[in-house]
Amino acid sequence: MKNETNKFYIFGITLVATLGGLLFGYDTAVISGAEKSIQAYLIDPLNLSAFAHGATVSSALIGCIIGGALSGLLSSRLGRKRSLQLAALLFFLSALGSACPEFLFFTKGEPTMGLLFVFNIYRIIGGIGVGLASAVCPMYIGEIAPANIRGRLVSFNQFAIIFGMLVVYFVNWGIANGQAIEWINDIGWRYMFASEAIPAFLFGTLLFLVPETPRYLALTNKNEKALSILEKINGSKEKATDILNEIKATLTGGNTKAKLFSYGKVVIIVGILLSVFQQFVGINVALYYAPRIFESMGAAKDASMLQTIVMGLVNVVFTVVAILTVDKWGRKPLLITGSIGMAIGMFAVSALAFNNIIGMSTLVFIIIYTASFMMSWGPICWVLISEIFPNKIRGQAVAIAVAAQWAANYFISSTYPAMMEFSGGMTYAFYGIMAVLSALFVWKMVPETKGKTLEEMEKVWKK
């Protein structure tokens, strides 16, 4: 049966869906090239504090939490495909609005509090798109993919996220390279934001060519359509009918929705903890810390672009490792191995920080840490969130898990400067402890989902 699946069709659909992941990465990283210009154009002329600058740079995260929280309601009401189309529209509006926040109401070159507020609103709109895409893209791919390659296909979404970040680093660098700082602060940053409109438009257009997921169609009693898509995916009507019957068996009694805790509280707690641990191991702050290491090794400040590209390439290579191994080794072994690698990296960085040693050794352990994350918790967390929840509660359960993830991201990112002020060594030791706890959590609480259909997950939690 394995060979009967229409891999070309499945990969085509996955490729379109992962453009949502690429935009997720693009939108969250585009600010890195523009934030100094935003400070020069909007923050400094208004004599605002570093807090206002930080709040503006991270305002998209507020949107991410909102988008993640709304994803369950939207994916259940509109469907998975239409929710992604809405995310594409939000990305597009945010790209153009952030590039020209003066449009209609303000004068270019005259910064006001109103203009700053409107700029933040456009960034939050993009953040809602990110939050929505971060929940619905893995869910969409998970519901389309056959069980034997589902892990690999959902992992492509993480690859697309970090590839989107890498692309925007090159785009920002290409726009700013060789230009005067005055031009960048006046016009260059606008091009950086506007560049996102191109992949957003492409994503929105290509979504018209992909189907709704068979699981969602079955949830809304469109069984004929569900069967037709399953037949295209699996290559035979007989196999498609078997899968549809299995899906329908999990929706017995005509009740296609269930209360959140119908399968007990453990499944929801596992989903939330997967999300929280993915952030509490400190991945974002580790990536933010890397430019300082390069500078301390004697690299000039403008060589930090080299750092982002080096880190981006490490991320890409080790995400590919996860894609190649997730359906062979399983989810749990990869997560536990990654947690151990992250703990080694972080405890080593902590020891070096306590001894005031910053240099090549620190960089090596940071790379061991990020490589361990990218081959495990980076992609596999999204794989598990897309597949551990039973059909009837998937939309709302994924929304809770993803909202928890963005809230944890915001908490960890915002507490990092204060923790570093208190003690750098203790900060990294904290992330190391979180990595150890994440390994114990996976070992004790997370079920192995390798090779199981989404419908079989219901039996796992019913036990």
For residues 148 and 233, the answer to whether their CB atoms sit within 8 Å is: no
For residues 362 and 352, the answer to whether their CB atoms sit within 8 Å is: yes
For residues 416 and 280, the answer to whether their CB atoms sit within 8 Å is: no
| DSSP string computed for 181-233 | HHHIIIIIHHHHHHTTHHHHHHHHHHGGGSPPPHHHHHHTT-HHHHHHHHHHH
Q: Give the chain's radius of gyration (CA, Å).
A: 22
pLDDT given for residue 3 in this prediction: 46
pLDDT given for residue 37 in this prediction: 87
Nearest to 174 by CA among 190, 192, 160, 186: 192
For the CA atoms of 94, 73, 135, 27, the dihedral, rounded to the nearest 10 degrees, stands at 10
Looking at the domain 259-463, which fold is it?
A: Growth Hormone; Chain: A; (1.20.1250)
CA distance 74 to 76: 5
Looking at the domain 7-220, which fold is it?
A: Growth Hormone; Chain: A; (1.20.1250)
| The token pair that represents 181 in the structure block | 């700082």
For residues 337 and 284, the answer to whether their CB atoms sit within 8 Å is: no
pTM more than 0.85: no
| The token pair that represents 269 in the structure block | 């707690």
pLDDT given for residue 2 in this prediction: 45
For residues 258 and 391, the answer to whether their CB atoms sit within 8 Å is: no
460 torsion bin: left (phi>0), alpha (psi -120 to 50), beta (else) = alpha
Q: Which residues contact 367 (CB under 8 A, 6 or more apart)?
A: 311, 314
Dihedral (CA of 85, 16, 124, 38) sign: negative
pLDDT given for residue 289 in this prediction: 57
> What Cα–Cα distance (Å) separates residue 431 from each residue in 265, 269, 280, 362, 435?
27, 21, 7, 15, 6
Nearest to 455 by CA among 221, 219, 270: 219
How many CA atoms are closer than 13 Å to the CA of 149, on its beta-carbon side? 19
H/E segment holding residue 66: helix 59-77
- Digit-by-digit pLDDT tens for the chain (463 residues) are 444 668 889 999 999 999 999 998 898 888 877 888 888 888 888 888 777 877 888 888 889 999 999 998 999 899 999 999 999 999 999 999 999 998 888 888 788 899 999 999 999 999 999 999 999 999 999 899 888 888 889 889 889 988 898 888 888 888 888 888 889 888 999 999 999 999 999 999 999 999 999 989 988 889 999 999 999 988 888 888 988 888 888 776 544 566 778 778 888 999 999 999 999 998 877 666 555 556 655 555 555 556 666 777 888 889 998 989 888 898 999 999 999 999 999 999 899 888 888 777 887 888 899 999 999 999 999 889 988 888 788 888 989 999 999 889 888 877 777 787 788 789 899 999 999 999 999 999 998 888 887 778 777 777 6
